[in-house]
Chains A and B, each alone.
Chain A
Amino acid sequence: MHELPQQLVNGLLLGSMYGLIAIGYTMVYGIVQLINFAHGEIFMVGGFGALTVWLWLPGGTTMWVAIPLMLIGAIIVSTTIAIGAERFAYRPLRGAPRLAPLITAIGLSLALQQAVWAWYPNAKSSRTFPEIPGDSIHMGSVTIQPGDLFLVVAAPICMFALGWFVMKTRVGRGMQATAQDPDTAKLMGVNTDRVIVVAFALGAAFAGIAAIAYGFRYGEVNFRMGFLWGLKAFTAAVLGGIGNIYGAMIGGLVLGVAEAMATAYMNDIPGMDKLGGQSWADVWAFVLLIVVLLVRPQGLLGERVADRA
């Protein structure tokens, strides 16, 4: 068990990324009750946005300059796509049966995947992502790799900034109002169309940040990465209570830690030696989801959604 602290850190890092992506699912669901299945692909194009900026930069640019620029690139690309999707794929279907925008979302996710595959140079297999130089940081038995530093810094900042935005700003309060009752909010003078766009854009910006973290952590981005990661983040959002912003983050962290623990220790439990290891991590993640939904159907932090209904 001497590796437990390290495995916890592994899980928390993985979970932070799930959480960052899950926020996009949760905010959009909380406000328009749409599960934006194209969100995984918005995460993916964010990664390619950052990569493009990196390729444009002259060789030898230090990471201190490159990272902020890549961040801007990723956020611009992912929010533009998300706002465009909202405007042209979802808004015309507002008021249509629930199934219609869901199908559009799936179609959009395939279209984005294929677009990157077809038009981004050499994206037919993985594209390598720049590395953060430097040595690993050791704290006792825990090692944090330079590639994870971005995530370690970015995830908490993002969370606090978002919390502040939703609680303290006008638009944020408009989002809360719209989430509770869009029609009444409209009557009270909230520009619900704008609020919805902001929700899409914010979620996409977080997905873009998560995509850079992905690139630094794994050293590559590829056109298929949106599917599995989108699915896991969606799971995290449901786990935490879909519609709840803090729930998304908690759900992500729980999921990440569960996966790390399943990989590391499931093999050691007597009788479970055939059901452990990394290839079973996904299975245990979904078992966890089912258990939580059976015991607490609204998700871990889901009470805020429940009182709306």
Chain B
Amino acid sequence: MRQRSLIAITAALTAGALTLTACGSRDDSKDKDGGGGSETTVVIGVDAPLTGDLSALGLGIRNSVDLAIKQANAKNHVDGINFKMEAADDQGQPSSGQTNATKFVANKDLLGAVGPLNSSVGESMQKVFDDAKLVQVSPANTNPAMTQGPDWNGGKKVRPYKAYFRTATTDAIQGPFAAQYLYNTAKKKKVFVIDDKKTYGAGLAATFKDEFTKLGGKVAGTEHVNPDTKDFGAVATKIRNSDADVVYYGGEYPAAGPLSKQMKKAGAKIPLAGGDGIYSADFIKLAGKDGKGDYATSVGQPVEQLPSAKEFIANYEKAGYKEAYEAYGGYSYDSAWAIIEAVKKVVEDNDGKLPSDARAKIVDAMQDVSFDGVTGKVSFDEYGDATNKQLTVYQVTDTSDPAKGWKPVKSGTYTG
């Protein structure tokens, strides 16, 4: 009997593996000339967590790209080109992200991809896209190593992937920016540093800690948590007894919200601070009333304050998306537009037609893209990083309406 069960499992696994491979290698190319018209379809891929804990942010990304594409088509921004979106769900998992990347590469009409949200997912996709010379623009990856190589902190910056760009600034400046604000402006002297061990969270917490101690602040304790368990009771007790006056959390809101709530209920009445991963209405929902006073930094200036963003917000509302654009909406919109602008340049240089090596040409064109986007000037430096290095500190001031709870308290450019 045991033999037979083994056979059954093996058979099931084999069948599963075959199905997956079949999906991966499926040729998605459509009959391009079938329509008879002169319109060429260019697909822009979106990879983001559309389901799961981080889906609030992910759906904001997808909707914003969709909006950019709709507007480019409506304006007929690139003559003879009709843009289309293909969205893929990575559930915040690196393995799903990589599968989606290979799927995107296999689609010959797909000339650029926006996403993903998580740095760890982005790392799994970079090589796949780079090998295919397919341009990728992330609105949200903030891990410095992704553009500047693993030794970015030691002063030896090397760009690992030519096809990778991002419109978000990096944790190399986000962590220190938070440290300067908390130490100099909010007068916090003792911090308890927690991270979730993921690429994003651990990197952010490390850059924060370096700067905070350099400024003269003390570290009252450190802790690594598993974001999947929502039980932080033991950690909350440690925080309460640590004498810290602020907690810095490197990670995302699904764990940060309950952590904030539990530490305050346990008697640690001190604010929790974090990066753009907790800058979400869902953080306020999860932290509840106790979230009042918590801090988050996020890339760029508040979208609502920028004159360039008024039109975006109005259009977003008009388009009637069910989900809010969240922290990365503006950056996703700009990322999609960066691809559209690069396609436009390539098409114009080639007498109004897509060249046969369009993907590689778009990667080159991306390097010189420059336009005024929702989040300010959009252009990229020699590493593929956004040249716009503005940051903002937000604080939770109102927990009754989570959508409006975050208020910007300080914007600025980190100068080191």
Contact = CB atoms under 8 A, between A and B. Distances in A.
A14 B233 contact: yes
Interface in B1-17: 1, 4-5, 8-9
A279 B238 contact: no
A281 B226 contact: yes
A289 B303 CA distance: 51
B266 interface: yes
Nearest to A283: B226
Interface stretch (A20-28, A51-59, A124-132, A300-308): A124-132
B5 A99 contact: yes
B155 to A, nearest CB: 27
Interface in B197-226: 197, 223-226
Interface residues of B, number: 45
Nearest to A218: B230
A11 interface: yes
B286 A3 contact: no
A259 B54 CA distance: 26
Contacts of B230: 214, 218, 220, 225
A273 B224 CA distance: 12
A126 B53 contact: yes
Interface in B106-156: none
B237 A6 contact: yes
A220 B224 contact: no
A138 B4 CA distance: 59
A76 to B, nearest CB: 25
B211 to A, nearest CB: 23
Given A125-B254, A219-B288, A279-B224, A11 B229 contact: no
B305 interface: no
Contacts of B258: 218-220
A55 to B, nearest CB: 14
B268 to A, nearest CB: 10
Contact of B285 (A128, A263, A264): A128
Contacts of A80: none
B266 A263 contact: no
Contacts of B412: none
B230 to A, nearest CB: 4
A224 B52 CA distance: 8
Interface string A75-97: 00000000000000000000001
Given A126-B53, A219-B261, A278 B286 contact: no
A131 to B, nearest CB: 6
B1 A278 contact: no
A3 B236 CA distance: 11
Contacts of A131: 288-289
B288 A125 contact: no
Nearest to B1: A97
A221 B152 CA distance: 40
Nearest to B242: A3
Interface in B22-60: 50-56, 59
Contacts of B1: 97
B267 interface: yes
Given A117-B51, A220-B230, A277-B223, A126 B237 contact: no
A3 B237 contact: yes
A53 to B, nearest CB: 19
Contacts of A168: none
25 contacts: A3-B238, A7-B234, A7-B237, A13-B233, A99-B8, A125-B52, A125-B54, A126-B257, A128-B286, A131-B289, A145-B265, A145-B266, A147-B265, A218-B231, A220-B230, A222-B53, A228-B229, A259-B231, A260-B233, A263-B234, A277-B224, A278-B223, A278-B229, A281-B234, A282-B226
Given A97-B1, A136-B265, 10 more contacts: A3-B240, A10-B237, A13-B233, A125-B56, A126-B282, A128-B286, A218-B262, A219-B261, A278-B223, A278-B235
Interface of B: 1, 4-5, 8-9, 50-56, 59, 196-197, 223-226, 228-235, 237-238, 240-241, 254, 257-258, 261-262, 265-267, 282, 285-289
Interface of A: 2-3, 6-7, 10-11, 13-14, 97, 99, 117, 124-126, 128, 131, 136, 143, 145-147, 214, 217-220, 222, 224-225, 228, 259-260, 263-264, 277-282
